[in-house]
Amino acid sequence: MGAGMTDKSEDLTVEIASLGPRGDGIAESERGRLYVADALPGERVRVRTGGKRGVGFVATLKEVVEPSPERADPPCRHFADCGGCSVQHLEDGAYGAWKYQLVAAALERVGFDPDVVAPLVRTEPAGRRRAEFSAFRPRASAARTFFGFHARASRHVVEIEDCLILHPDLMTLVAKLRTELAELVSPGARWDVSVTLAENGADALISANHAPGPDASLALAMFAEREDLARVSWKTGGEVEPVAMRRRPVLEVSGHPVDIPPGVFLQASAEAERALSQLVCDGAAGSNIADLYCGTGTFALPLAAGGANVMAVDGDGAAVEALARAAGTGGFGGQVRTEIRDLAKRPFTTAELKGFDTVVFDPPRAGAAAQAGELANSDVARVVAVSCNPATFARDARILADGGYALEQVTPIDQFVWSGHVELVGVFRR
């Protein structure tokens, strides 16, 4: 630990220099770097230092001594407590510039011209069709069940009466779920509840470290019937079992109906998914396309519908099977080949990439360094990379560029409004 850096809490007055990728204000002090939630660049603030985080310390905002002219009143009454949003206190124009800069700065750090970044594509709040909640009941016998989002950087559950980022129908269901689960959660238990708004009814997945038991199963089945949910499933460990299957939930994925497996990865909003799909289809070229980390077909389905032959690959077998069914139903099953494969462990090799005109890849936040390395040694003419993490995208983009690809354009999409998360699409060409 460096000079002046101790574990003892202390009160300091500091000036915020910048806004970090998590939405925290960053200040340099005699103690070291401080990360201050709810503080903005240019502000002079009084803080109390806390625990270690990376190369610095977390600090709690006690008072804004000199506020920024870009400070705004948060539109949500739960902002101070809920961890779902981190930057509602920033004026809208400055917020958009900050989100754009998250992508531009990540690319500049690895040697790219930040001018390659196109304007930020904004999405509307109240568009989230999927959200994850926690239901927790303390061990005390008289304790009630808390149902909501986690507080920032905490497992504490914050109950919410309304939410500006959720689709209104999802918020309505949340209120009913809170009432239903109040007596079902055992003292000391925590349930993680994922809810997706499908086209034909909501799809709920409850994850816990124990089986539901007959009483909870019956109550959840009756709730599904009463509220017209499409499906309720229960996950214990890696096993998912239906509690109530009234009909297969169907979601429009890039305009094509897909019967979605429980808990499968989906883009959080339909608006952002449409924007991503359009950018990928515009960036791809040729008749033979590989879609790596394909999921349920966000890109494979519209590419095939446009006439391309698509090789769709993902490690999630249920997602790949759903994609194959959707392609068949859509009338272009003959154009879509699928493979279930863990691309993090077994990326498509340079030899396997021969014959593809375009490769699309959309990996998890960890990125796809191994796959980028294989592409760098290939003769694929065009690569379209989708990412939810500017840092790992920039790393993978540098691998591609060092292999001879030119990064033509990167388009950021603000899918996760008022948070530090941003989606992006990059187009590379040899």
Domains identified in the chain and CATH numbers: 11-66 (2.40.50.140), 97-122+265-429 (3.40.50.150), 130-198+201-248 (2.40.50.1070)
- And the tokens for 125? 């709040």
DSSP codes joined into one string, 55-81 = TEEEEEEEEEEE--TTB---S-TTTTT
Rounded CA separation 235/209 (Å)? 8
pLDDT of amino acid 2: 45
pLDDT score of 253: 87
pLDDT on residue 255: 85
Please, how many CA atoms are within 13 Å of residue 52, restricted to the half-sphere of its CB? 7
Query: How many angstroms separate the CA atoms of 302 and 379, rounded?
Result: 24
**Separation of alpha carbons 303 and 309, rounded Å:** 8
d(C-alpha 19, C-alpha 414), whole Å: 17
The sign of the torsion formed by the CA atoms of 323, 326, 332, 333 equals positive
Distances (CA, A) of 126 to 70, 130, 252: 23, 11, 18
Q: What is the largest CA-CA distance in the chain?
A: 67
* Whole-number pLDDT of residue 141: 65
Mean pLDDT by 10 residues, the chain (430 residues): 60 97 96 96 98 94 98 97 96 98 98 98 96 92 86 91 96 94 92 97 97 95 98 94 97 92 95 98 98 98 97 98 97 96 98 98 98 98 98 99 99 98 98
Note the pLDDT of residue 213: 92
Task: Please confirm, yes or no, whether 388 is among the known catalytic residues.
Answer: yes
Identify the active-site residue in 82, 85, 294, 388: 388
Please report the pLDDT score of residue 218 as a whole number.
97
Q: Are 420 and 86 in contact (CB under 8 A)?
A: yes
Written as six digits, the tokens of 200 are 């034909």
* pLDDT, position 3: 43
Angle, CA 258 vertex, CA 286 and CA 413 arms, to 5°: 60
Q: Which pLDDT value is given to residue 140?
A: 76
Class of residue 186 by CB neighbours under 10 A (exposed 0-12, middle 13-18, buried 19+): middle
Looking at residue 238, its pLDDT comes to: 86
